[in-house]
Structure 1
Amino acid sequence: MKRALLALPIAIVLAGCGSAPPPAPTPSVLVGIAKAQRGSLPATVIAYGSVAPALGGTQTFSMAQPGQVTTLLATPGMAVRAGQQLATFATAPSAQGTYQQAASALTAARKQQAITAQLLGQQLATQDQLVQANKAVADAQATLAGLQAEGAGQAMKSIIAPFDGVVTAVAVAQGDRTQPGATILTVARSGGIVVTAGIDPADRAGVVAGQAATLKRLSGGTKLTGRVIRVGGALNAQTRLVDVDIGFPTGALLPGEAMQVTIETRQVAGWVVPHKAVVTAGGPARVFQILAGKAKAVPVHIALSSDQGDVVEGNLDPARPLIVAGAYQVNDGDAVRRGN
């Protein structure tokens, strides 16, 4: 009995010497924050295309007669001034011979007309014969005029730049012989070179002339500003897209360069938040704000999603921090801590 009484204080003392384990720390997620604010961002349409002459902004040179390019002074991409000589062309001897025959036929028809008129005065020819002689003269004159208009009567012809511009294509080499109507070269008017890009037909209603655009070479380099100057009214037969022409500062781009075009169609207003702050996985779109050290989910409607940020609508509180970094790692009610 004494041993039990003695042992009791020792047990009590030993129990008093121990300490309870500390409570486990509450887990939290490290997050980065930003401030939600009202504003607007541009809605954009992104398209791809290349630098090319605008419709009606070029002139293509060809000859209606066969011949030879004796001198070629133009190269693709060369800037030219109005009145500058680009090439010389020698008409083929066969074409010159055809012209000479037409000129001789007109001379002969006129002589026959005069003789017939004289004979008619002497009552040695009929009125019908004079009518036929007059018709022969008219036909010969028309034939000769047509050949003159086609340049058959000129042994040498010069191709002259009709305006300030850029040579966009040269289809021949010096010394080449060409057939009637064959293209020799093409000149685009200064300011008549545009970026032609294809947009999806579904985007056509939002794209109109006058809208601002940003141009970026696919090969890299500084971005350029431009403006929509034409929206096609039908699908391009090859691309099945709608062609859009964008003007840009003269001389800033070269024909043939591949381009990315971003067209600003309108401004979208609402809460402007970083794109990473909007969570779309695992349910409706939402953002998280911090309330009393915990993440609070706020449902939102996405009005615009872009590289510059998103525009959303919802019951956001501008006084509460918006979770950006780590938004996809938290759930509603999770404890969070802010990063430095």
Structure 2
Amino acid sequence: MNAFLKSAACCVAVGALGACSAGNADSGATAEPSALVQVKPAVQGDLPDVVTAYGVATAAADAVITLNVQAQGSLTRIDAIPGQAVKRGQRLLVFTLAAPSMATLRQARTALDVANAQRQHTAQLFAQQLATKDQLAQAVKAADDARSALDALPAASAPDGTINIVAPFDGVVTAFGATAGDTVQPGAALVSLGRSDRLSVIAGIEANAMNRVKAGNTVTMSPLDDGKDVSGAVRRVASSLDPKTHQAAAEIVPEGQPVAGMTYRAAITVGLWHGWLLPREAVIGEGADTHIFQTDKGKAVSVPVTVLGEHDDMTAVSGPVQPDRPVVTVGAAQLENDMQVRSGNAPAAR
């Protein structure tokens, strides 16, 4: 009996030991590591190819006039500044004729007085039949010519030789050709004025992009300061670089009314990239190592791609992307090919 109990106890002990060993073996096994990611369906589409430039709203080139006086003189007063909005008839500056110009003006006035007196005298003689009709006609013509000569002078209506230069329309002062006190020659530019209803944004295009920007390209202009975006289109692009800025000037015509003098960021759409559209963080590596990850049966699959272009936070790529496999959009940087993945926004296990 004792021998039987001992034998049974031994068997129970061996069975328990075997069970414990099996339990230890199970607890020592480790699960395959997995990464928590976010995925989205693979989608193809168009991404705008955008050239970014910066420019200032100013009057269009063909909407700017330059005012001058065809006489020598000086600027004795300036009543505006560049960039100022002015109304039609508002005085911009005061121009005073130089001494030689005043002498010419006095001579023209004297000639007109003499011609008018001669015409009046000839008319009296003609009434008394002491002058012929031809003589009267000549006297009238001489007086008319003297009047025309005086009217052609810039200060004909300014007895003291002072001319008020006023704005011929509502507009914006773009530049002054001289400063107060300067003496200028006949016809010299005094002030340039642009129409306020014909504003354009003149943007600088970098040399490596100037051949991509064409007339007709659509543009979205965003003010660097607070303000609303303005849509527009490229009107023309310079074919050479500005020697000072080393950029090509592009004139952008807005659909709305920009603020004169404001600086805008111009996003010029020059084309479209067609490919697989992904967030930038979904594209890993660079050059020949550029790739994305898709998921297949809970595994990460590395897919080589070529970056076509980028815009904002999106990237267009080409490559052997499988349309029926989700694309990893968040968490791709931690993955390796064939790694176990789980998708969703669940918090990581503690």
Q: Given the alignment, which residue of 320, 331, 335 partners 1:330? A: 335
**Deviation digits for residues 59-104 of structure 1, max 9, x if unmatched?**
233444214546x654544444545554443434553024435777
Measured in 2, the distance between the counterparts of 1:188 and 1:293 equals 66
Structure 1 spans left out of the alignment, 5+ residues? 109-140
Q: Which amino acid aligns with 1:151?
A: P
Partner of 2:212: 206
TM-score of the two chains, using structure 2 as the length reference = 0.73
Unmatched segments (≥5 aa) in structure 2 = 115-144, 346-350
Listed one character per residue, the Cα deviations across residues 116-161 of structure 1 (whole Å, up to 9, x for unaligned) are xxxxxxxxxxxxxxxxxxxxxxxxx9xx96x975625542323232
CA contact (8 A) 2:199 2:258 kept: no
Quick one: which amino acid aligns to residue 320 of structure 1? R
- Corresponding residue for residue 268 of structure 1: 273
Alignment-mate amino acid for residue 9 of structure 1: C
SS in 2 for 1:235: coil
Shift of 1:320: 1.7
Q: Report the CA distance between 1:45 and its aligned residue.
A: 0.5
Could you tell me which amino acid in structure 1 is paired with residue 199 of structure 2? I
- Aligned match of 2:310 in 305, 315, 326? 305
The two structures, once aligned, show a CA RMSD in angstroms of 3.4
CA drift of 1:31 comes to 0.7
Q: Which amino acid aligns with 2:275?
A: G
Aligned ranges 1:40-79 → 2 under 5 Å: 40-63=46-69, 64-69=71-76, 74-79=80-85
TM-score (norm. length: structure 1): 0.75
Is 1:9 the equivalent of 2:14?
no
Q: Does the 8 A contact of 2:155 with 2:162 survive in 1?
A: no
| 8 A Cα contact 2:57 2:258, kept in partner | no
> How far, CA to CA, are the matches of 2:86 and 2:308 in structure 1?
49
List aligned pairs for 1:157-168, cutoff 5 A. 157-168=163-174
User: Counterpart amino acid of 1:318?
Assistant: P
Corresponding residue number in structure 2 for 1:287: 292
CA distance in structure 1 between the partners assigned to 2:287 and 2:335 by the alignment: 12
Question: Quick one: structure 1 residues 36 and 220, their matched pair in 2 at CA, closer, same or farther if it must change by over 3 Å?
Answer: farther
Alignment of 1:1-340 (within 5 A): 8-9=10-11, 11-18=13-20, 19-20=23-24, 21-22=26-27, 23-63=29-69, 64-69=71-76, 74-100=80-106, 151=154, 153=156, 154=158, 155-169=161-175, 176-181=180-185, 184-249=190-255, 251-255=257-261, 257-281=262-286, 283-340=288-345
Letter in structure 2 aligned against 1:219 = D
- 1:12 counterpart letter in structure 2: V
1:69 and 1:249 map into 2 onto residues whose CA distance is 40
CA distance in 1, matches of 2:113, 2:230: 63
